[in-house]
Structure 1
Amino acid sequence: MLLVCTGNVCRSPAAELLLRSALDAVGAAGVVVTSAGTRALVGEPVHPPMAQLLEDAGAPTGSFTARQLTAQDVRDADLVLALAREHRSAVVTLVPGALRRSLLLSEAAAAAAAAQHAGWPVGPGHTAAARLGSLPALASRHRAPDRAAAVDVPDPYRGPEEVYRASFQLVRDTVDQLVRALR
């Protein structure tokens, strides 16, 4: 799974680290979660205000460094989750074939919640990892005409503290919704 934002120092690292931790907690530790930026601040750590929020939430940033999004990253990912519409557009522009497996983080969470409500398939092969892989198809089936589930996470970079908190909380809530639905 690949998460994409602009600089890869706030939103996508927060989603990556929170998702990795949450997936480990529900027994989906085998799911590889990475992130990259469309205009990454390559080599930079998570921006300090976001890093502090992650630390406080029990998701330490460790040796995380920002990476530039590449076509190979997109080709290698089974699922690409963008933090805003502009990032999904950048992914699809870079690799047009990724259209069907790229969606917003918020759309993935909404699709997972709808599938959970309808009843996920159970039995062999219906693991959290398999469910994650089915999210793009589910998102297109459950997508509302008004695209109400398509919520962009605001970019907090160099903004006021309250924007960092709001962005972090939106990412955290969306990740929680997604992982809760995968159980």
Structure 2
Amino acid sequence: MKTKVLMVCLGNICRSPLAEGVLKSKIDLSHVFVDSAGTAGYHVGKAPDKRSIAVAKKHGLDISNQVCRKLKAQDLEDFDMIFSMDKSNYENIIGVSRSKEQAKKVRLLLSNGDAIINEVPDPYYGGEDGFEHVYQLINDACNRIAKEL
């Protein structure tokens, strides 16, 4: 049975699609399923932000075929590991959980065990540099997660 990993941000067009693509590039996809979602439904059915697509492409990844979707309560049952990009979305995910077992699956992407290191900033309203910075943070975190898997 595959381990299922879900990356979550607010709109599922900047950070979580990038995290999905980065993690997929670092693991054996025959053993791990990776997806992404947003806690808000602003962009359902749309492709990732063009700036996320561009920074992924710059690093040899193609995330252009991903489609934005909203987090569902069932995701907390279906996925083994759920990574939030920031504290606000972490709280939103925990709010959807129906049990302590589900809540235990949720972690901040930039955490080391229980110690919170930092949040992945939302680059949506910033420039291109913000997307590169976010890529680097996500890449480092995905290296750690890939070792766990």
Judge same fold: TM > 0.5, yes or no: yes
Preserved CA contact (<8 Å) 1:2 1:74 = no
2:106 aligned to 84, 90, 102, which one?
102
Give the match for residue 16 of structure 1.
Answer: 20
Aligned mates of 2:27, 2:68 — CA distance in 1: 22
Preserved CA contact (<8 Å) 1:10 1:156 = yes
Q: TM-score, normalised by structure 2?
A: 0.87
Preserved CA contact (<8 Å) 2:48 2:64 = no
Aligned mates of 2:103, 2:64 — CA distance in 1: 32
For structure 2, the residue ranges without an aligned partner over 5 or more in a row are none
Count of residues paired in the alignment: 142
Aligned mates of 2:74, 2:55 — CA distance in 1: 31
Q: CA RMSD in A?
A: 1.6
Shift of 1:60: 0.2
Give the match for residue 148 of structure 2.
Answer: 182
Q: After TM superposition, where is structure 1 displaced by more than 6 Å over at least 4 residues in a row?
A: none
Bigger radius of gyration: 1
1:54 aligned to 53, 56, 59, which one?
56
User: Percent identity at matched positions?
Assistant: 30
Q: What is the CA deviation profile of residues 52-93 of structure 1, one whole-angstrom value per residue up to 9, with x for unaligned ones?
A: 111121210142110011101222111111111111111110
Give the match for residue 65 of structure 1.
Answer: 67
User: Of Structure 1 and Structure 2, which has the larger fraction of its residues in helix?
Assistant: 1
User: Of Structure 1 and Structure 2, which has the larger fraction of its residues in strand?
Assistant: 2
